[in-house]
Structure 1
Amino acid sequence: MPEGHTIHRLAREHQRQLRGQRVRVTSPQGRFAAGAALLDGATFTGADAYGKHLYHRYRTDGGEVLRLHVHLGLAGKFFGGSGAAPAPTGAVRVRIETGERWLDLRGPMACELHTPADQKALYGRLGPDPLRPGADDSAAYQRIRRSVVPVGQLLMQQEVVAGVGNIYRAELLFRHAVSPYRPGRELAADTWAAMWPDLVALMRRGVRTGRIDTVRPEHEPRAMGRPPRVDAHGGEVYVYRRAGQPCHVCGTPVATAPMAARNLFWCPTCQP
């Protein structure tokens, strides 16, 4: 599932490509036909992201603002290009065309029109998003400190921190020598005070580059004389999907185990 940096990156791309454009909107698959009919002919006015949720805003000729809410889930993906759109292939939930560009959405977990009240309610259920200005990390820490649930599980709960997925969870805990099994109530305030700005910086870097890189300069391939990581997710990481490989810091084999139906990765030595 795409993590928050990917959704913020999509919002920026869509804003740049579509803002101010009158759009033709269809649902080749048919599952969003009624919503597409309402959006068809409207003007794209902007995009916004909160955690793993993406919003498009459209203004109709009558002045009404319509909000398209998208959650990609595990299988959702946007495809697009310039010029005339090709014939739809696969289950295209939504197609957006400007005449100069086209954008297809396939396989999302959610694709629906939201009212302002719907959007407000959704945001109210989510924890702070590290990529949004003014995000209040104290709200996240209070949830963590009140819980006996392992911090590795809490960081994956979107009502605690919005936008964090399996990669950022694993890497943030490693970078701060925190065991994923530590109960939330045992996470010290000064540890969280160091973790939050680090998470913000890592995710902002992800927005800029389109990949997740978490290793410090001294542990990069050139500095260590090791080959670059080869993985479909890209990026240089410490523990994520490195089970059995030596830790870049201490050499201990990276461990893995399931936690709340997701694969957890950590170094038993660096994160006792």
Structure 2
Amino acid sequence: MPEGHSVHRIARQFDRNFVGRTVTASSPQGRFAEGAAVISGRTVTSVRAVGKQMFLEFDDDIWLRVHLGMYGAWDFAGEILVDPTIASANGRMGQTNQRGTTLEDEPILDSAGENSLTSIGAPRRTRVHVRMSEQTTGLPDEGAEWPPPIVGQVRLRLLTDVTCADLRGPTACELLTPDEVSAVIAKLGPDPLVDDVQEGEERFVSVVRRKPTSIALLLMDPSVVSGIGNVYRAELLFRARLNPHTPGRDVPEEVVRELWRDWVRLLSIGVETGQMMTMDGLGPDAYRKAMAHRDDRHWVYHRAGLPCRVCGTAIVVEELATRKLYWCPTCQA
């Protein structure tokens, strides 16, 4: 499932490439035909990301809510203006996870799909054409078909004169009023990139410390905290050396606070690089290797049966509320 860092990166792409522009909207798949007809011909006026949900505002107070869920992704094609606040995986600015770059340094690309070459969201193979640079002008590459051909089940296509965004496989894609948007956001836990960080910490600590629910389940509850998915959940708990089955109310307050502060750090890294880098203190070679291969950048996630990087104990995996939970039974005893 795409986690919070991916959705914030998507929002920044929309801010750079769609806000202030009129779009033609369609639903090639047909499942969002009525909604697409409402927003087609309207101007995108703003975009917000909160946790795993994105809200795109159009004129006349019409909002599009998209929740990618397990399988959703946005594919971008055409001329893409890169958000200069987002770095590439090798630490340079301007490269996001679409194909193509004007950077001189060779970018680090992740074949596992977390930092997908052509889309943001769930990993998938795609054939859309993308050209990227920090400053691009004019129409897509000469000779490229425009608009790009429809590939697969596209729920929603948003098209400007030079940029195309295709949405596939979302859990939610719906139009809302401003009041409905406010109601959805009000139900979400704090997001470090949206809410005041200190206020968010207090909200998070207050909720966790009164819940009998296990901390592993609380971290995945969007009403408790926004944006944390299976990968970040496992890594945060290991970094805190915290048994995932500990009831929230039994976790020491300072540990809960450190969980929040660690989430603030890891989310920022994820947005900047496009990858869920959760290991610290790596040298240049180890860092490049970790950025290129998911198995080299996590402490416990996806490492069932492999030795713990700290103590050597085999990492275990178990089912918890239908999701896989990875942890070290020694370091997190």
Q: What is the TM-score of this pair, normalised by structure 1?
A: 0.91
Give SS of 2:265's match.
helix
Map residues 48-59 of structure 1 onto 2, 5 A cutoff: 48-59=48-59
CA–CA distance in structure 2, aligned partners of residues 188 and 21 of structure 1: 49
1:240 to 286, 301, 318: 301
Specify whether residues 24 and 147 from structure 1 end up closer, same or farther in structure 2 by C-alpha distance, changes over 3 A only.
same
Aligned residue number for residue 249 of structure 1:
310
Aligned residue number for residue 325 of structure 2:
264
CA–CA distance in structure 2, aligned partners of residues 250 and 172 of structure 1: 17
| 2:70 is the counterpart of 1:43 | no
Q: For the Cα contact (< 8 Å) 2:63–2:175, is it kept in 1? A: yes
| 2:150 is the counterpart of 1:88 | yes
- Structure 1 residue runs without a partner (length 5+): none
Q: What is the TM-score of this pair, normalised by structure 2?
A: 0.75
Q: For the Cα contact (< 8 Å) 2:61–2:178, is it kept in 1? A: no
Aligned residue number for residue 206 of structure 1:
270
Aligned residue number for residue 19 of structure 1:
19
Q: CA deviation at 1:235?
A: 6.4
Q: CA deviation at 1:109?
A: 0.7
Specify whether residues 183 and 243 from structure 1 end up closer, same or farther in structure 2 by C-alpha distance, changes over 3 A only.
same
Give SS of 1:196's match.
helix
Q: Which has the higher contact order (CA 8 A, sep 6+)?
A: 2
| 2:203 is the counterpart of 1:128 | no
Map residues 16-165 of structure 1 onto 2, 5 A cutoff: 16-59=16-59, 64-82=60-78, 83=140, 84-135=146-197, 136-165=200-229
Specify whether residues 228 and 9 from structure 1 end up closer, same or farther in structure 2 by C-alpha distance, changes over 3 A only.
closer
CA–CA distance in structure 1, aligned partners of residues 75 and 23 of structure 2: 16
The number of residue pairs the alignment matches comes to 264
CA–CA distance in structure 2, aligned partners of residues 234 and 49 of structure 1: 28
Q: CA deviation at 1:208?
A: 0.5
Aligned residue number for residue 5 of structure 1:
5
- Structure 2 residue runs without a partner (length 5+): 79-139, 141-145
Q: CA deviation at 1:221?
A: 7.0
CA–CA distance in structure 2, aligned partners of residues 124 and 222 of structure 1: 41
Q: CA deviation at 1:262?
A: 0.6
CA–CA distance in structure 2, aligned partners of residues 230 and 105 of structure 1: 26
